[in-house]
Amino acid sequence: MLKKSYIVKNHFKHYLKTITKNQSIIQIVCSPILFPFCAVYHLGGGLHRYFSGMYHQWEQNKSTNPNRLPVIVVGSLKSGGSGKTSLTVELTNKLLESGIRVAVIAYWISGYNRDKLYQKAGSSWQKTSDEAMLLKKHTGANVYVTRKRNKTIHFLSKTGEYDCIVSDDGFQDQSMRDAFHMVLLEGTKQSPFKPNLWDLLPLGRYRQTASALKYADIILSGPHLMTPSEEVSPAHNEVFPFQRTLEFPKDFDFSREWICFCALGNPENFVQNLVESGVRIKKVYTGRDHKKIPVKTLRLARVKYPGCGLLTTEKDCIKYSSEESLDFTVIKQKIHIPETLFLQIILQFKKKYGLYLESLPKGSNFEKFMLNEQLQKL
């Protein structure tokens, strides 16, 4: 009884802390109304994942060819804005540099066609997604956008063209529950933020509570600024830090006032990072994630705030063509994976897929990579 009252008390404290962080009075007033929906969302999501997992397990058992390539899922408990795509880019490039043939999977958002299993990322973000275009641009790997991840993975496994598949998001997808799961959390390595019931949708921005972390193979927390001498080791309670930085153009004018526009899952983080970097923000325009802020809105902003420059993210830049005559500055966001962290990821990956790796023929790309001297020392 004492334990139960203690839990309720902690939940109530977390609730008060949550609503005081809200900037809108409407959100504070409506939060008691939204609480029951958080519980419904949590229960509904749990039931969906349970029955979906049972279905995919049954489907896999009846499959005549259950074997498939190793899959690395870069996921998050948050619905957006945690850095999954940036981390997927960095991880994919490191695997490609190591001689591993990688295919990338992204979620099909724009122009979805039910009759097609997948669509390769090409020249138009409207036919796939803005994230798929970024992945293709920065990795050069084949990027497959799909809403049927499991079937796409089985298809790619049969082609013989790849050694590994990296999925941008998919931690909640039960068809990939046997994959290697990397989960991103906000916060520092000492105290990563672990969401509670009150942080779930629709009140918060999270899809799952911290209880889901037991299914993660490795947990990353950040963004965290690391010093060159700092070592990444399992001594950090199996929570490893990652670093995210902003890359400004060489001629960027920090003395000028800027109009910032972005349509991200978590635009507040981007704006905060700009301010912390010394950027003078005059006005911020935000939109729904994966959507395009109207050109008319941006042109009116230029008229309303003369002398101010326009800046945005690389993800938003993809959505505008040169014919729209918008002169704006692009600020890139990059996640850095130190070599020690990359080796830790591969070490955990080896533990997960040990039997599969042992079954590979001699001279395979994975066998050559696993003979890495640094990896042998861990």
Domain ranges of the chain: 48-242+337-377, 246-333
Task: Output the pLDDT for position 128.
Answer: 87
pLDDT confidence of residue 90: 93
Q: What is the pLDDT of residue 296?
A: 93
> Regarding the domain delimited by 246-333, which CATH topology (the fold level of the hierarchy) does it fall under?
Rossmann fold (3.40.50)
Q: What is the mean pLDDT of residues 107-111?
A: 83
The residues facing 168 across adjacent strands are 74
SS3 287: coil
Element (H, E) at 33: helix 25-62
* Confidence at residue 47, expressed as pLDDT on a 0 to 100 scale: 84
- Write down the residue that tokens 């005559």 correspond to: 325
DSSP-based three-state secondary structure for 64: coil
Does 365 have pLDDT greater than 90? no
pLDDT of 234 reads: 41
Helical pair 2-21 and 25-62, crossing angle rounded to 10 deg: 120
Q: Say if 48-242+337-377 and 246-333 have the same CATH topology.
A: yes
Query: Which candidate, 252, 329, 337, 335, places its Cα nearest to that of 298?
Result: 329
Q: How far is CA 113 from CA 116, 127, 154, 162, 290, in A?
A: 6, 9, 19, 25, 17
CB count within 10 Å of CB 67 equals 10
- For 260-286, write each residue's pLDDT tens digit: 999 988 888 889 889 989 999 999 999
pLDDT 10s digits, 3-38: 444 444 454 444 445 444 544 555 566 677 777 888
User: Residue 337 has what pLDDT?
Assistant: 83
pLDDT band for position 83 (cuts 50, 70, 90): confident
C-alpha neighbours within 13 Å on the C-beta side of residue 11: 14
Q: What fold, for 48-242+337-377?
A: Rossmann fold (3.40.50)
Using only C-alpha atoms, what is the Rg of the chain?
A: 22
The string of pLDDT tens digits covering residues 185-220 is 887 656 677 888 878 888 788 899 888 999 999 998
- Banded model confidence at residue 364, pLDDT cuts 50, 70, 90: confident
Question: In whole angstroms, how far apart are CA 121 and each of 107, 139, 220?
Answer: 11, 12, 28
Give residue 22's pLDDT. Answer: 43
pTM over 0.75: yes
